[in-house]
């Protein structure tokens, strides 16, 4: 196990570094301390050939200008908060009139303090950050720790811990866009997706939950058995940007994504109540991702988190962070090959 460090840019706000965590057996993860962004997860395919299974931008300028959270840690609260309102607090209305993904000074554009570590079985990076009281309207000084760890066994673990000196909100996620074909060779339509979820949050026309949880059985949101995405996009041309409420069963992952051609698979196990799945449908943009123009269905963002806009729905799990009581979120991404 080893960690390589590369200095990318001396930015006025601090040194931007890139770290590569390497299990020395074909599995490696590269991330920036800027936004804690995953820029590469290299995973062997059926022939043992390692390629990147997350979408990345061309260079650091791309990340500094990014509006779509490529690979980023997102928070303090992922997703939309209606009108940016919580109790008497007004959060930044960065998707006017709503608040989205932590606002203007969210996790994704902070330079985190970073410390690499290596043991015999694992290696990783511990990132830390303090967001001052009142940042983007959130009360309390928020102390954060985000730890990325890889194992010999092709696991990537992300643990995020938040604590505050006042009652505040905490619902972070990671916003990597996956494409298991490797370096964005194929569209995600070729992928198979399964989610341990029998309910999806009903959304209004602004993509904000109404509070109703709808049964997925027999609908286009039913991923309880493995589904080919191409077939789902045919039935649901607008794609998916939806929050699935997860079922947790000891020892079982909540999400399975596979690419039959390369035979790569990923299983996600999370402590969180839901997963937001965003299929990049119609995301035809003028920037370069994995050496090509960003286009519809190039990646799938998988964002484990509490249900969005939870502050306005008493039937959603609370995302309150109480003073002096740290809260931990954990997600494990397990990579491997489809069994024949």
Q: Residues 16, 40, 68, 266: which binds ligand G6D (CB under 6 A)?
A: 68
Does 285 contact ligand G6D by CB under 6 A?
no
Closest among 275, 257, 262, 239 to 194, alpha carbons compared: 257
Q: Residues 241, 285, 322, 338: which binds ligand G6D (CB under 6 A)?
A: 241
Does 108 contact ligand G6D by CB under 6 A?
no
Segment 294 to 313, residues that bind ligand G6D, using CB under 6 A: 301, 303
Residue 340's contacts (CB-CB under 8 Å, 6 or more residues apart) are none
Does 69 contact ligand G6D by CB under 6 A?
yes
Residues 93/137, Cβ–Cβ less than 8 Å: no
Q: How far apart are the first and last CA of the chain?
A: 29
Cβ proximity to ligand G6D: between 69 and 316 the closer is 69
Does 188 contact ligand G6D by CB under 6 A?
no
Does 240 contact ligand G6D by CB under 6 A?
no
Q: 77 in helix, strand or coil?
A: strand
Count of residues of this chain found to bind ligand G6D when the rule CB under 6 A is applied = 8
Clarify whether 159 is annotated catalytic. no
Residues 268-279 as b/e (b if ≥16 CB within 10 A, e otherwise) read bbbbbbbbbbbb
Closest among 195, 198, 144, 194 to 171, alpha carbons compared: 144
Clarify whether 303 is annotated catalytic. yes
The residue sitting closest to ligand G6D, measured at its beta carbon, is: 278
Cβ proximity to ligand G6D: between 163 and 305 the closer is 305
Give the CA distances from residue 302 to residues 34, 115, 164, 243, in Å, rounded to whole numbers and listed in that order: 20, 26, 27, 10
Residues 314/279, Cβ–Cβ less than 8 Å: no
Burial of 287 (0-12, 13-18, 19+ CB in 10 A): middle
Catalytic position from the list 99, 101, 108, 175: 175
Cβ proximity to ligand G6D: between 9 and 276 the closer is 276
Contact positions vs ligand G6D (CB under 6 A) = 68-69, 207, 241, 276, 278, 301, 303
| Residue list for the binding site for beta-D-galactose | 175-177, 241
Residues classed as catalytic: 175, 303
| Residue list for the binding site | 175-177, 241
């Amino acid at each position: 196990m080893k960690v390589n460090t590369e200095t990318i840019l001396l930015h006025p706000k601090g040194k931007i570094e890139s770290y590569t965590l390497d299990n020395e057996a074909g599995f490696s993860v590269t991330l920036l301390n800027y936004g804690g962004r995953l820029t590469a997860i290299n995973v062997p395919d059926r022939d043992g050939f390692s390629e990147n299974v997350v979408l990345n931008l061309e260079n650091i300028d791309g990340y500094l200008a990014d509006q779509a959270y490529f690979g980023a840690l997102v928070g303090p609260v992922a997703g939309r908060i209606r009108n940016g309102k919580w109790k008497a607090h007004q959060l930044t209305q960065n998707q006017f009139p709503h608040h989205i993904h932590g606002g203007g000074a969210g996790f994704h554009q902070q330079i985190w303090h970073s410390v690499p570590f290596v043991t015999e079985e694992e290696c990783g990076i511990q990132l830390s950050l303090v967001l001052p009281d009142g940042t983007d309207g959130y009360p309390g000084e928020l102390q954060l720790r985000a730890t990325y760890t890889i194992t010999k066994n092709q696991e990537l673990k992300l643990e995020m811990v938040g604590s505050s000196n006042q009652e505040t909100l905490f619902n972070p996620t990671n916003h990597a866009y996956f494409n298991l074909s490797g370096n964005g060779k194929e569209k995600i339509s070729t992928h198979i997706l399964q989610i341990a979820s029998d309910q999806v949050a009903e959304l209004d026309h602004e993509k904000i939950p109404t509070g109703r949880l709808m049964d997925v059985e027999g609908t286009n949101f039913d991923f309880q058995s493995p589904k080919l995405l191409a077939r789902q996009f045919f039935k649901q041309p607008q794609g998916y940007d939806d929050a699935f409420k997860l079922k947790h069963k000891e020892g079982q992952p909540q999400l399975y994504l596979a690419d039959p051609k390369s035979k790569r698979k990923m299983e996600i196990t999370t402590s969180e109540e839901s997963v937001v799945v965003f299929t990049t449908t119609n995301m035809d943009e003028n920037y370069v991702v994995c050496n090509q123009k960003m286009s519809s269905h190039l990646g799938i963002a998988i964002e484990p988190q509490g249900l969005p806009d939870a502050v306005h729905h008493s039937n959603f799990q609370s995302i309150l962070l109480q003073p002096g009581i740290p809260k931990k979120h954990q997600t494990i991404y397990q990579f491997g090959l489809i069994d024949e």
